[in-house]
Amino acid sequence: MVYKIKKHIPESEALVERDRKVIATCQHLSSYPFVIDRARGEMLTDVDGNEYIDFLSSASSLNLGSANVHINQAIREQLEKCTQYNGGYSYNEPMISYAERLVSRYPGGVKAKICYGNCGSDCNDAAVKFARAYTGRTKIITFINGYHGNTYCASTMTTCTPRMHAKMGPFMPEIYHFPFFGTDVSDEIAEREGTRAIEEAFQLYMPADEVAAVIIEPIQGDAGILPAHPIFMRKLYDLCKKNGILFISEEVQQGFWRTGKFFGIEHYQGIIPDGIIMGKSIGGSLTLGAFMAREEIMNSLPAPAHVFTLSGNALACAAGRAAFDYYETDEFQNILKNNSCQIVDEMKELKRKHPETVDSFRGLGMSQGILIVKKDSEGCKVPDVDGVFKIIFRAYEKGLILITLGLNVLRIQPPLNIRPEKLHEGFVILDEAITDLEEGNIPDEVLSYRHGW
């Protein structure tokens, strides 16, 4: 039986069918036939005129929402001057002035430099290149359930789905994966187990003096918005310092105030990374990435070891710079503070209303995950893998865009400056969708639309 979507979307469905004929299957992780036409702020409109509240922020690449007035003005002004000219053979002022702003935000006041890329993926590659060049070592440590991107090196580092490895090997050598310990484990476990596997590897088969860097997401994104346990992070950082291993913070999804601080690593007191990987919202809505690290690390590679035709282009840097300047205002900081409080209150109320379905929520700032569960035959709570998809599908039908992560996590990442009334309205829709799930009003046929991780 084919499910009849509870929306008027003839143009959307027609475009999805056209897409199937010309776009590779691997390009979409679609959960529903949402075909965007225009957007402003936290509101999205499809080609059929249906409006939606944005709880995804284009996978956290639109931290200030769509068509932000400050960013749009900067883009318009730069368009009249120059969109791009190969940065390998020229210089441009937005590239320089944006880099000056970014290095000013390096934790601990470290003197740093920037290497621009096109996205977060190739900037993960940059981190590996610079780490190997600076240390003269080859091995890289990453963590289970981490997501780093889709270039060959970044895919090798990624361990949150077999779909990013199947049929494409062999992958990059000398990349090693170890357990990640989040805030979902006890202090005792984090203390006892946190770095045990790495330390055993150092003793048995992996010489510590051959490890160039540890690359870690302080808050794992695609694993289900899971902050690293503070004890685990401290033990890992200390282990790196003891063995001369670079500690690199992967901030592609969680940077640029997404967690309530400019970088997620700033939630971990006393940890000053040797390098920081950036992407998504760094371009203020346009395609951009960057690796930033201590000056001596960034001086370890000659040109053209990591340069691209469009990396650091004037248009994206002008947009990112405008976003950066707005982030610095009291207006934005007050909005962020208020929204970060409200989103927690909204999740608490959702859990109060649905104690059997909403198990818990976790995250930092405006980056949150809500865990959806059900009871098994023995009455124990287990992840509701189908239920969580049904919730986002019904939310789409009711006018809310969000996705799932991991087995059973709702990804809640609205624009940082979402209007309070729209943030509340989004949670009202979530409440209604969960009620429909609990009352058995979302049929299994909607699962045919699931094409995710």
CA distance 106 to 403: 31
DSSP β-ladder status, 367-375 and 381-383: antiparallel
d(CA 1, CA 382): 28
Query: How sure is the predictor about 204, in pLDDT bands with cuts at 50, 70 and 90?
Result: very high
Task: Give φ, ψ of 193 to 5 degrees.
Answer: -105, -15
Token duo for residue 81: 């001057």
What count of residues does the chain have? 453
Using alpha carbons, select from 290, 339, 406, 367 the residue that is nearest to residue 57: 367
Please provide the average confidence, as pLDDT, over all residues in the chain. Answer: 97
Do residues 78 and 285 make contact, with C-beta atoms less than 8 angstroms apart?
no
pLDDT in tens, 239-251: 999 999 999 999 9
Position 389 pLDDT exceeds 80: yes
Tens digits of residue pLDDT in 3-38: 999 999 999 999 999 999 999 999 999 899 999 999
Structure tokens at 11: 């143009």
Domains of the chain (ranges, CATH numbers): 10-60+333-449 (3.90.1150.10), 70-327 (3.40.640.10)
Q: Is 91 exposed, middle or buried (0-12, 13-18, 19+ CB in 10 A)?
A: exposed
Q: Cα–Cα distances in Å, from 215 out to 18, 19, 53, 105, 329?
A: 40, 36, 34, 20, 31
pLDDT at 451 over 90: no
- Tokens representing residue 158 in the block: 């990624």
Predicted pLDDT at 453: 73
Q: What is the 3-state secondary structure (H, E, C) of the chain?
A: CCCCCCCCCHHHHHHHHHHHHHCCHHHCCCCCCCCEEEEEECEEEECCCCEEEECCHHHHCCCCCECCHHHHHHHHHHHCCCCCCCCCCCCCHHHHHHHHHHHHCCHHHCCEEEEEECCHHHHHHHHHHHHHHHHCCCEEEEECCCCCCCCHHHHHHCCCCHHHCCCCCCCCCCEEEECCCECCCCHHHHHHHCCHHHHHHHHHCCCHHHEEEEEECCEECCCCCEEECHHHHHHHHHHHHHHCCEEEEECCCCCCCCCCCCCHHHHCCCCCCCEEEECHHHHCCCCCEEEEEEHHHHCCCCCCCCCCCCCCCHHHHHHHHHHHHHHCCHHHHHHHHHHHHHHHHHHHHHHHHCCCCEEEEEEECCEEEEEEEEECCCCCEEECHHHHHHHHHHHHHHCEECEEECCCEEEECCCCCCCHHHHHHHHHHHHHHHHHHHCCCCCHHHHHHCCCC
The whole-number pLDDT of residue 2 equals 83
288-327: pLDDT as tens digits = 999 999 999 999 999 999 999 999 999 999 999 999 999 9
Q: Looking at this protein, which amino acid is placed at residue 112?
A: A
Average pLDDT over residues 120-129: 98
Residue 180 has pLDDT above 80, yes or no: yes
pLDDT over 90 (residue 452): no
Q: How far is CA 365 from CA 48, 159, 255, 430, 435, in A?
A: 33, 25, 11, 19, 26
Q: Which of 253, 260, 435 is nearest to 337 (CA)?
A: 260
Report phi then psi at 389, rounded to 5.
-70, -40
Residue at token pair 């003269």: 136
In whole angstroms, how far apart are CA 206 and each of 128, 132, 137, 439, 450? 18, 16, 12, 53, 40
**Residue 384 confidence (pLDDT) above 80:** yes
CA-wise closest residue to 445 among 394, 395, 370 = 394
Per-residue model confidence as pLDDT tens digits over 243-275: 999 999 999 999 999 999 999 999 999 999 999
**Whole-number CA gyration radius for the chain:** 22
Report the distance separating Cα 153 and Cα 341, nearest Å.
38
